[in-house]
Amino acid sequence: MFLFVSLVLTAVVASWVAWRVKNRAMLRKSRDIPGPPTVPGLGNALSFMGPPERISDVIGEMRQQYGDVFRFWLGPDLNVIVSDPEEAKSLLSNNKTSTKGPQYKYMTDYCGQGILSGSGPVWRKRRKVVIPNYGRRAVQSYEVVFNQEADVTVERLKKIPEGKTFDIYDDIVRGTTYTVCQTLMGLTREQTLKLPYLEAVITESHDQYLIVFKRMTKWYLQIDLLYYLTKLYHQQQVFIKKMLDLGDSIVRLRLKILETMTDEKKRELLDSKSDEKSNTELSVVDRLVLSNQIPEYDEILKELFTAFTSSQEATAKITSYLLQMMAYHPECQEKLYAEIQDVLDANEKDVTDEHIKQMTYLDMVFKEVIRLFPIGVMLQRTLTEDIKLRNVTLPAGCSLVIPIFHMQRDKRYWENPNAFNPERFEPCKPIPEAYLPFSHGPMDCLGRYFGTKLVKTVSVKILREFRLTSPERYEDMRLVMAVSVASVNGYPVQLHPRNVIQN
């Protein structure tokens, strides 16, 4: 036994020494970057051991103490926070930061090595494959489905008793899920409703995001052997099986459509960049299958899940936040309702691009919502080379971290930054540099047009039919960092029909 322990300790020490020798340049340069004291082997990992809702406070406290550029260690990973807006944007546009950070590896079990968690040539090729389905013209062609599913969501909400408190996210995410399946995935509504495990994926995805974030921030869960012994690992594996079965069913449905096309037609649709119909006649599924960029079938299914969850879950959260903010701020809600009534005639049912363009206050509300509750809380990139900033050099091999959530609530750039105030986005006012809700540079948000239009369409439809209230107050909100920003208490609202008589 003594010999075994001695061998283990020797191996650990040898690994530690080898790591220090290999990373001696990074270790030397890191000493010039301010940051909290570390614990041998763990770095600053113990600071992140609290509940998920404390993570934001920990980062905020470090920023306050060490400034716009500081470092912290998560085990062997050196992370450097940069929250100066000018430097952050410059870094996100730099080709030396085009590699995703090490924490993204905990997403690969779900999303593979591609669009969300991948880097370099693989990421670039796969993004290019699916981008036609996310462009402005493609999103415009989804307008009919956006409106139809928003109407279905409204009808579902009408069945909830007036004044009853409920979490509106549950209804919103079903609507956005069915919308994504009928647009990006290329299915009919009937096919969507028959998909296996769809309900499970809808209801369990949030818990999976929490598991990923726990692995990102809890040092002991980053040790694979320890993680495999936890119930979290078992939950993850059960979910991934359901996720892959769901994706397989979607692919099989689309393959039946592809079998009806000639090879010439497929090539024509893949190569076409200008024809609007061609952009969406092939779904994201079709493009992933036909591109020959992904030889492994499971990897196709994981890339498919990336497109699925980043579209339906993200838009549902933003929509829920927007509606919740209207419930918390009745004066803003009435102003937005008046705008909706002014732009949409009583006999106009569908929300179009032209209507949305005229709703300037809706745009202000939307921008304020994604300022306060960005989908990407922090961005992480691995530096491939040293980068010199004004006062310090970031060493190659470190992880650059851009704290979007904190930048967008920084009192230096925003007056009363934690308050909900859409007027700060009036068209005549300049938007501060510290505003990166869709990231920045070549790795910016792929689904920004899709998400923006879907959120606005659903919100208009609901606010046109209901006045929203809530038993809670905005000041009492508790947020948790789980890859994106989530509300600890959900999105509790109450509905009161407007009783609008339409011709």
3-state secondary structure 421-457: CHHHHCCCCCCCCCCCECECHHHCCCCHHHHHHHHHH
pLDDT at 501: 45
- Mean pLDDT highest for which of 6-20, 283-297, 326-340? 326-340
pLDDT > 70 in the chain, percent: 93
Give the tokens for residue 283. Answer: 């779904």
Q: Is the pLDDT of residue 276 over 60?
A: no
Per-residue pLDDT tens over the stretch 55-87: 888 888 999 999 999 999 888 889 999 999 999
pLDDT range class, residue 41, cuts 50, 70, 90: confident
Total residue count of the chain as it appears in this document = 503
Question: Of all helices (H) and strands (E), which one includes residue 77?
Answer: strand 77-82
User: Over the stretch 432-464, which tens digit does the pLDDT of each residue have?
Assistant: 999 999 888 877 888 899 999 999 999 999 999
Choice between 73 and 151, residue whose per-residue pLDDT is larger: 151
Neighbours of 135 (CB within 10 A): 16
Q: Is the alpha carbon torsion for 18, 22, 28, 29 positive or negative?
A: negative
pLDDT at 101: 75
Q: How confident is the model at residue 11 (pLDDT cuts 50, 70, 90)?
A: low
Mean pLDDT, the chain, whole residue set: 88
CA dihedral 273, 294, 202, 205 (to 10 degrees): -120
334 has a pLDDT exceeding 80: yes
Could you report the per-residue pLDDT of 411-422, keeping only the tens digit for each? 999 999 999 999
Cα separation, 295 vs 293, in Å, equals: 6
How confident is the model over 97-128, as pLDDT tens digits? Answer: 877 777 778 888 888 777 766 666 777 888 88
162-166-167 Cα angle (round to 5): 140
* C-beta of residue 402 within 8 angstroms of C-beta of residue 379: yes
pLDDT score of 198: 94
Q: Where do the domains of the chain lie?
A: 20-497
- pLDDT above 90 coverage of the chain, percent: 54
pLDDT over threshold 90, residue 307: no
pLDDT score recorded for residue 436: 93
Say if residues 380 and 343 touch (Cβ distance below 8 Å). Answer: no
**pLDDT tier, 503 (very low <50, low <70, confident <90, very high otherwise):** very low
3-state SS class at 500: coil
Strand order of the β-sheet with 466-469 is 166-167, 492-497, 466-469
Confidence of residue 235 (pLDDT cuts 50, 70, 90): very high
CATH 1.10.630.10 corresponds to the domain 20-497: yes
Say which residue, 131 or 6, is predicted with more confidence: 131
Predicted pLDDT at 274 = 46
What pLDDT is recorded for position 502?
Answer: 44
Q: Is 159 helix (H, G, I), strand (E, B) or coil?
A: coil
The predicted model gives 245-271 an average pLDDT of: 89
Stretch among 14-18, 355-359, 362-366, 495-499 having the lowest mean pLDDT: 14-18
Picking from 147, 81, 181, 16, the residue whose alpha carbon sits closest to that of residue 394 is: 81
**DSSP states of 297-342:** HHHHHHHHHHHHHHHHHHHHHHHHHHHHHHHH-HHHHHHHHHHHHH
Going by pLDDT thresholds of 50, 70 and 90, the confidence category of residue 294 is: confident
State yes or no: pLDDT of 361 exceeds 50. Answer: yes
Over 60: is that where the pLDDT of 246 sits?
yes
> What's the pLDDT tens digit per position in 160-199?
999 999 999 999 999 999 999 999 999 999 999 999 999 9
**Contact by Cβ (8 Å): 288, 304:** yes
